[in-house]
Amino acid sequence: MSTTARTPSIQTKLPAVGTTIFTVMSALAAEKGAVNLGQGFPDFDCDPRLVDAVTEAMQRGFNQYPPMTGVPALREAIAAKIERLHGRRYDPASEITVTAGATQAIITAILAVVRPGDEVIVLEPCYDSYVPNIELAGGTVVRVPLTPGTFRPDFGKIAAALTPRTRAILINTPHNPSATVWTREDMLALQELLAPTEVLLISDEVYEHMVFDAQEHQSAARFPGLAARAFIVSSFGKTYHVTGWKVGYVAAPPTLTTEFRKVHQFNVFTVNTPVQHGLARYMADPAPYLELPAFYQRKRDLFREGLQRTRFKLLPSEGSYFQCVDISAVSDLGEADFCQWLTAEIGVAAIPLSAFYGDGFDQRVVRFCFAKKDETLRTALDRLARL
């Protein structure tokens, strides 16, 4: 008797999800030989001292499983950094967890607290993992737009979106994709709004060390009413130019951390050991992250100065390593078509902001990443000067 090989049919959990815009644009950039200012990663190396610290950890035999929650020395270094910068002391044993990057941290937090029927507020435009994470947890996504043009939070609209079913709200500052930064007044307004509720906060702060023009990053850790209900997420990959290492962390009160770790131990269990030991040693010197704002502000200024030679209208870049521009004076194309054209014909890849909206809202704005070598930026600017 013969049988026919057959793959059983499945019903997708994420019917609206296809290949991400970042993959599409990076592939097109490679095909066309374009300068890729689309995907948000550096094209320069990290500090050799960091590589040396990880290499030494490997050579010393730190190559087996670390504790599920993270190497104690790294959790202690994280707690010390947060206290130094934001004045709140997290207990390394019960309130800090090392994660396989910030994206894993975010989905783990969502899976830990969101149940079917719960609502979760996201502020659009938003990073592309948020919505699928909520859907995988069985939650209902509630989209609240940031103010078009300025990308500031509209607390009236946020308040109107709160219901008895609201389980959490996700915020991101400094903001990807718009490069705006929440102010102290913004954080106080959010604290006041959430105070009478049972709503949890997931605060995506991966660009925390990239805040410009003498501003300060307003971490949720600075505000007692927010910290008490928050999962605060950050990324060593962003801070130390090692995005491929995929290491981040979450700081949260003990009761939230307990639930977070229940999920964490069964989706990744733990994070690679030698990198954790290397990071712990490297963090003994705070200079690399304290100097990061000036490092990226210089690149931002170089890039913005070059863009002045184009017909792009520059939007503010207050933080992160992104620069958004209005394309209205350059082209009649929509954002997505313009990015395709720009990559193929001008040789520079960008990302349409419409990709960060559930409904594809097109406001004629695209995003560039300036986390690149100066020569990369100058090559891109020479090409863009044709516009």
Q: Tally the domains of the chain.
A: 2
Domain presence at residue 4:
no
For position 4, what pLDDT does the model report? Answer: 87
What's the CATH number where 124 sits? 3.40.640.10
Print the domain residue range for 132. Answer: 48-285
106 lies in the same domain as 252? yes
123 lies in the same domain as 203? yes
219 lies in the same domain as 152? yes
180 lies in the same domain as 317? no
Closest among 67, 164, 177, 50 to 117, alpha carbons compared: 164
Q: Which residue among 285, 301, 319 closes a domain? A: 285
Residues of the chain with pLDDT under 50: none
Q: Which residues of 176-194 are buried (b: 16+ CB within 10 A; e: fewer)?
A: bbbbbbbbeebbebbbebb
**Per-residue pLDDT tens digits for 95-150:** 999 999 999 999 999 999 999 999 999 999 999 999 999 999 999 999 999 999 99
For position 2, what pLDDT does the model report? Answer: 66
| Cβ–Cβ under 8 Å, residues 233 and 203 | yes
* Secondary structure of 274-329 in HEC code, one letter for each residue: HHHHHHHHHCCCCHHHHCHHHHHHHHHHHHHHHHCCCCCEECCCCECCEEEEECCC
3-state percent breakdown (helix, strand, coil) of the chain, nearest 5: 40, 15, 45
At residue 222's C-alpha, the angle toward residues 367 and 251, to 5°, is: 80
Query: Any idea which residue has 């300036």 for tokens?
Result: 370
CA dist., res. 242 & res. 157, Å (int): 37
Domain presence at residue 83:
yes
Domain presence at residue 225:
yes
| Cβ–Cβ under 8 Å, residues 373 and 295 | no
For position 206, what pLDDT does the model report? Answer: 98
Amino acid at 249: Y
| Cβ–Cβ under 8 Å, residues 133 and 168 | no
153 lies in the same domain as 93? yes
Cis peptide before 177 (omega within 30 of 0): yes
**Per-residue pLDDT tens digits for 244-300:** 999 999 999 999 999 999 999 999 999 999 999 999 999 999 999 999 999 999 999
Judged by DSSP in three states, 208 sits in coil
Q: Which residue among 285, 310, 326 closes a domain? A: 285
Element (H, E) at 163: none
What's the CATH number where 299 sits? 3.90.1150.10
Span between the terminal Cα atoms of the chain, in Å: 68
200 lies in the same domain as 299? no
8-state DSSP, 205: -
Question: Global pTM?
Answer: 0.96
Domain presence at residue 8:
no
CA dist., res. 21 & res. 19, Å (int): 7
Domain presence at residue 62:
yes
280 lies in the same domain as 296? no
